[in-house]
A = this chain, B = another copy of it.
Amino acid sequence: MSTGFATTDERLPAYVRLRDTLTARIAAGDWTPDQPIPSEARLAREFDVSVGTVRKAVDGLVGEGLLERRQGSGTYMRAPSFNATLFRFFPMRGSEGAPLSIPQSQMILRTPAEAPTEAAAALGTGEVIKIVRLRSLSDQPVLFEEIYIPRTRFVGFETLPDTAFGPLLYPTYFEHFGVLVKRATDEVSFGRASVTVAQQLRIAAGDPLAVICRTAFDVEDKPVEWRIASGSAEGFRYRSEIS
């Protein structure tokens, strides 16, 4: 008897199977952000489980930040707000509550390429699209980024019009390619500016550099992006919450 679950291990509890099924639907783009998914009662009927079981499944996804409940209205998809990465890296106000400038993003390059060793290892493939960006605060370049995304997941990325890009990449990933970034791991280290990086950041070659390597994963925990970002070590700050 089919119960409507996606094909997951039958030995697993119903709420787990339902959670996985909902995740698959989200990943497949069946629903769109800021649109309500079916109500708890509907889902209960559809999958032939009780409302309590639906709530438990949804609870998990809310905890992961994939869904958001709004009492009286419904439960909505929610693209994880990896917002304002730059704000995490550099302090935004001088010392007094100085007017915080808006971070800018300038795309320099977007082309198919061969992934460097580390990126290939993280992504599991060498066939990537390479993106180069320069991010600035009040016209001062602060972060130089090289980004690698697997070609198979982002077919046609290099031919997208420039208008498809805002200051953040992850919304574009989702809207045009259905790739939803759920989590990422950052690794901060110290280095020295190469000639090209120095030129972009308008510092001297050999100057101390803060380097952030990030691997981003989608809802199914498959790596979908590897990036290396560099900024002058002067004034650099990386904030992190641990628990």
Question: Which chain A residues have a beta carbon within 8 Å of chain B's beta carbons?
Answer: 63-65, 80, 82, 182-190, 208, 210, 233-234, 236-243
CB distance from A174 to the nearest CB of B (A): 15
Contact between chains at B80 and A186 (CB < 8 Å): no
In the complex, chain B residues whose CB is within 8 Å of the CB of A239: 185-187
Question: Which residue of B is nearest A187, CB measured?
Answer: B239
Given A63-B63, A208-B208, decide whether A190 and B236 contact each other with a Cβ distance below 8 A: yes
From B183, B208, B234, contact of A243 by CB (8 A): B183
Contact between chains at B185 and A240 (CB < 8 Å): yes
Contact between chains at B188 and A243 (CB < 8 Å): no
From B63, B188, B208, B242, contact of A185 by CB (8 A): B242
Contact between chains at A183 and B65 (CB < 8 Å): no
In the complex, chain B residues whose CB is within 8 Å of the CB of A65: 243
Pick 23 A–B contacts, CB within 8 A, sort by A: A64-B243, A184-B241, A184-B243, A185-B241, A185-B242, A186-B240, A186-B241, A186-B242, A187-B237, A187-B239, A188-B188, A188-B237, A188-B238, A189-B236, A190-B208, A190-B210, A190-B233, A190-B234, A190-B236, A208-B208, A208-B233, A233-B233, A238-B240
User: Could you tell me the distance between the alpha carbons of A236 and B208 in the complex, rounded to whole angstroms?
Assistant: 13
User: Could you tell me the distance between the alpha carbons of A73 and B185 in the complex, rounded to whole angstroms?
Assistant: 35
In the complex, chain B residues whose CB is within 8 Å of the CB of A188: 188, 237-238, 240
7 A-B pairs with the lowest CB-CB distances in the bound complex, closest first:
A190-B233, A183-B243, A188-B238, A240-B240, A186-B240, A189-B237, A184-B242
Contact between chains at B208 and A238 (CB < 8 Å): no
In the complex, chain B residues whose CB is within 8 Å of the CB of A185: 239-242
User: Could you tell me the distance between the alpha carbons of A182 and B241 in the complex, rounded to whole angstroms?
Assistant: 11
Contact between chains at A238 and B182 (CB < 8 Å): no
